[in-house]
A and B are shown apart, each in its own frame.
Chain A
Amino acid sequence: MSVTTLPSRGHALHQPGWVARLFDYKPFLIVMCLAPAIGLLLVFLTYPLGLGIWLAFTDTTIGQRGVYIGLENFQYLLKDPLWWNAVFYSVFYTAIATFGKFALGFWLALLLNNHFPLKSLIRAIVLLPWIVPTVLSALAFWWIYDPQFSIISYLLVDVLHLRSSNVDFLGSPWPARFSLIAANIWRGIPFVAISLLAGLQTISPSLYEAAMLDGATSWQRFRYITFPMMMPILAIVMTFSIIFTFTDFQLVYAITRGGPVNSTHLLATLAFQRGIAGGELGEGAAIAVSMIPFLVFATLFSYFGLARRKWQQGEAND
């Protein structure tokens, strides 16, 4: 690109209007450029975050300003079996779903890292579950888990004859919990796979060549080259995944709404039920705020747990 063709050149020199000069004053320009983004984030993110923490210490309800009540909401939650149940299921859901997503996603990434025909088409297809709105695919899962017309039940009962009766996927607590986790894993695999695939492609082939010459088996190459080299990316992707799985809302809301008998409530769906549907804004905010310690802990654990190992590996290799 030739810079001398800039048509604006003369314009700037001959008509230095005060507006143009103001925009060339760097501090002003910086402020103007940052204003839209920072403004939006302050008004709709930082302020609500602070307000949410404040609301958690009040007894606000919809249509009525609350007063400061200290830790009462939290004391109430600690005695509430439904809150404990939501804490349990949120942790369980996050742990199992993250494990499943990463095990299967890593496997898929390793498969996609091979050479085969139609590679880019297959990559595009694989991303589909991640692109399509979660609620809409969740509805498809709801239908797949239907008590009477589930296609899985049909396969198990009528085609394979493995069972004599339909599976009651969403009717009792444990099957419902695992059904939701399966849907979450299904949705999460593409993102994990594509992100890890990007990481795999940054590993230099010469490392594998050297290992081959030394007679390393394919398992040893995975264990001593692929896995340690993937640690930094695993740490980032897993941190993100844990945050968004722990605070998941739509999948559970769409498929079970927390049922049966409140067994599948995540903290987010419980907060919605109490805060928006039930009108207890203060209590709902307290449930939402109670997610923060778990999030901080999970983030630190996944990030530093994985990143530290990478750092140790790096030290040893130098």
Chain B
Amino acid sequence: MAWDSRARRVVMIYLPLACFILILLFPFYWMAITSFKPNAELLNYKEHNPFWITSPTLAHLKHLLFDTSYPRWLKTTMLVAIGSTFLSLFASTLAAYAIERLRFRGSPYVGLGIYLAYLVPPSILFIPLATVIVQFGLFDSPLALILVYPTFLVPFCTWLLIGYFKSIPYELEECALVDGATRLQILWRITLPLAVPGLISAGIFSFTLSWNEFIYALAFIQSGANKTVPVAILTELVTGDVYQWGALMAGSLLGSLPVALFYSLFVDYYVSSLTGAVKE
């Protein structure tokens, strides 16, 4: 009986779960293994088992870091991601505070309006936005990306932070008000410190999304030096008819690592805020 239920559990749960994990992780394994394979092994499946490396090499990584502008692209991507994350956190914290705590007539509608902005996909906006960026003289500048990314970051962050502010007892703020603290002092010294977990998850969310963003970076940045990693790999590294798969995969791996690391440090915040946001 006990054996029977255990066998059933293996077939019904562990086996399918193992298949899911295998399939979900395989492209990363393939990416990693390609990055360190010498070209001879990479293009010869007859003599070498493709799933393994016999003589790993750092040649692809070296080529990427020293013969291309990859370090420059990484730096630009980092700058854009950090800049837009801070801008979004600043704007959405204030907005969420105003909507949730300063309660005014119409505050639910302002909240709804900001939330609806999340449903406007970048694919519809990139053509007119490109002309706006040109008008502002920001074409080909990373600053354009820092200013534009908040349009899809602010709605989600505001929504997330409204939920967080709701969970902080209002009595704390009332006491401070009675004691004569100003509203800004209350925000800075009471509400924000208590909302740190929410700020962290909003920050991780913004950082990963900015790192990920593609269509705006493709449309607004022209010169090779100012490109972000996803765009640069696709437009600068993919050249000619013979693709340098080793370098391409090394670039993908290296470009994925910062978000993967950043995310793994805070994965608990991340999952709980995601599940929390859905529960709301």
Chain A interface residues (CB < 8 Å from chain B): 1, 3-4, 6, 8-9, 12-13, 20, 23-24, 26-27, 29-30, 32-34, 36-38, 40-41, 43-49, 51-52, 55, 60, 104, 107-108, 111-112, 114, 116, 120, 122-129, 131-137, 139-141, 143-144, 146, 149, 151, 154, 158, 186, 189-190, 194-195, 197-199, 201-202, 233, 236-237, 243-244, 247-250, 253-254, 267-268, 271-272, 275-276, 281, 284-285, 288-289, 291-292, 295, 299
Contacts and interface: CB of A to CB of B under 8 A. Distances in A.
B50 A33 contact: no
B21 to A, nearest CB: 6
A36 B90 contact: yes
29 contacts: A1-B190, A3-B172, A12-B180, A13-B180, A36-B90, A37-B91, A37-B154, A41-B155, A44-B150, A47-B132, A120-B267, A126-B24, A127-B267, A128-B25, A132-B28, A135-B214, A135-B231, A137-B27, A140-B249, A149-B45, A186-B23, A190-B24, A194-B271, A197-B275, A233-B278, A268-B123, A275-B127, A288-B125, A291-B121
A131 B202 CA distance: 14
Given A247-B121, A249-B123, A285-B127, A131 B114 contact: no
B240 interface: no
B189 A6 contact: yes
A274 B46 CA distance: 43
Interface string B146-169: 011011001100100000000000
Contacts of A107: 16
A190 B271 CA distance: 11
A52 B124 contact: yes
A107 to B, nearest CB: 7
A151 B23 contact: no
A72 to B, nearest CB: 17
Nearest to B51: A151
A288 B127 contact: yes
B134 to A, nearest CB: 9
Contact of A291 (B42, B87, B123, B148): B123
A201 B263 CA distance: 23
B13 A125 contact: no
A288 B124 contact: yes
A151 B21 CA distance: 18
Contact of A30 (B98, B119, B274): B98
Interface stretch (B54-62, B65-73, B254-262): B254-262
Interface residues of B, number: 100
B132 A44 contact: yes
Contact of A254 (B132, B234, B253): B234
Given A136-B230, A186-B27, A198-B278, A20 B182 contact: yes
Nearest to A266: B123
Contact of B28 (A6, A116, A128, A149): A128
A272 B278 contact: no
Looking at A48, A189, A236, A275, which has the most chain B CB atoms within 10 Å of its CB? A48
Given A37-B154, A40-B154, A44-B151, A272 B30 contact: no
Contacts of A1: 172, 190, 194
Given A52-B124, A135-B233, A41 B117 contact: yes
Contacts of B131: 51, 55, 60, 281
A33 B102 contact: yes
A131 B189 contact: no
B184 interface: yes
Contacts of A114: 13
A108 B20 contact: yes
Given A47-B132, A139-B234, A23 B23 contact: no
B102 to A, nearest CB: 5
Contacts of B219: 272, 276
Contacts of A48: 125, 128-129, 132
B275 A37 contact: no
A284 B252 contact: no
A120 B182 CA distance: 42
Nearest to A4: B179
A24 B177 CA distance: 11
B82 to A, nearest CB: 16
B57 to A, nearest CB: 17
A249 B16 contact: no
A37 to B, nearest CB: 4
A112 B21 CA distance: 11
Contacts of B183: 23-24, 26, 29
Looking at B87, B124, B158, which has the most chain A CB atoms within 10 Å of its CB? B124
A151 B17 contact: no
A36 B96 CA distance: 11
Interface in B222-251: 229-231, 233-234, 245, 248-249, 251
A248 B121 CA distance: 9
Contacts of A6: 176, 179, 181, 185, 189-190
B234 A135 contact: yes
A194 B151 CA distance: 25
Nearest to A146: B245
A20 B268 CA distance: 39
Contacts of A43: 132
Given A40-B150, A186-B27, A3 B175 contact: yes
B14 to A, nearest CB: 7
B45 A37 contact: no
Contacts of A40: 87, 91, 147, 150-151, 154
